[in-house]
Structure 1
């Protein structure tokens, strides 16, 4: 058995799982329990195979009935844990849980994966985090039939209580700097005309590309620029009319 660093006889499950080390018996175990905004706090349980009720109690939810506990799996999946159900936090690599004050769970689909949730609505920012993406560099869309998919803002709540299971997709987006203003762009390429349209001027006025060293280059009509995900373009490369 590998040696595990112990602080006051408490083993940090997240650190232990990351190192691939076996738990030492007779200790206490540090886990994280969050809320529906994925804001986590650290708690301690005395059992490496706790029940759902033990996790909820450790997190200060003394009235276990009326709460839903979701385990955050290592592969990004979400799994409801009943109060009398045990979870082997080391074998399954589970160090994070989400607790909800609720009497029922809801399901939704995110990037073709079916997930369980303990509230009847979910924030756009939380959907991005569940997809493993940086909220500042990604977008999430509610898929809709017979109409365009809806872009979900970070602070926007989407109901999960409808008759049908809601489907979402999340992906990186591109942040473009055009005359000092940031614009989100959903494709990996953009044309000169599209840059002008985002900037709010007629393409006949032209578009000038400005690199990080302030070198300028006139774009040609119909020219296609390949973008990189995230804010890198917003900080290193800008466009202006000209």
Structure 2
């Protein structure tokens, strides 16, 4: 029997008597924290009990594989911590989970709503990328930062990641608006303002030495400029 000990690149001691097996563990979130186990081949319940989670049957435990897929670990199922890829675990305070696909990989979540930041972290995407709900035969839906996605439907939701769409910013009466369109007409801008007063003109505020001017409904305004365009709502009789 080989009782030699070696170290992996992350500093996890493997093999030998008295070895410590360091993994990361998250509960109902993607806040992964270090967890040290003495048994190289623990049961699922031993991993949960190490975090004080009892009874094990009240929780769902998954090993997140290097591929990003979630592998279900039952309470009395053994997992070899000496195997590459057995380093990250996530548990949920429920015996029911919701399945989804993320870039083709299967994941699970403990509630019907999964936060965007969880999808982002689990996918490992960069700041310049975003998460989208895949809509077959339609337009994929952006999951906004700070938002969440519903997993409670009848099927398995599929998510993909892609570069963030470029957004153009403008202001009306000091309120920030965003659009994926690089230009909008006066009428389109008014339509984005709640309760627009039809007796008012849309006025583009001048920048530098440029004067303020009224924007007609059919006039197109380029929004891909800096600083961002600023508009105001002015009673027709009070301008000009």
Is the partner of 2:57 in helix, strand or coil?
coil
Q: Is the 8 A contact 2:25 2:35 kept in 1?
A: yes
Structure 1 unaligned blocks of 5 or more: 5-12, 186-193, 209-237
Deviations 1:193-214 (A, max 9, x none): x54459x796676967xxxxxx
TM superposition shift of 1:55: 0.7
**1:97 match:** 89
How high is the TM-score relative to the length of structure 2?
Answer: 0.65
Q: Is the 8 A contact 1:79 1:116 kept in 2?
A: no
Q: Within the alignment, does 1:157 sit opposite 2:148 as a pair?
A: yes
Distance 1:84 1:170 in 2: 35
Deviations 1:95-125 (A, max 9, x none): 1111101112322111122333333331122
RMSD: 3.4
Distance 1:207 1:154 in 2: 22
Q: Post-superposition, which runs of at least 4 consecutive aligned residues in structure 1 deviate over 4 A?
A: 174-185, 200-208, 238-241
Aligned pairs, number: 191
Distance 1:127 1:69 in 2: 18
Q: Is the 8 A contact 1:34 1:41 kept in 2?
A: yes
Q: Is the 8 A contact 1:175 1:182 kept in 2?
A: no
- Select the structure that is richer in helix: 1
Structure 2 unaligned blocks of 5 or more: 190-203, 205-218, 230-240
TM superposition shift of 1:47: 0.7
Paired residues for 1:202-213 under 5 Å:
none
TM superposition shift of 1:34: 0.6
Larger radius of gyration: 2
TM superposition shift of 1:177: 7.7
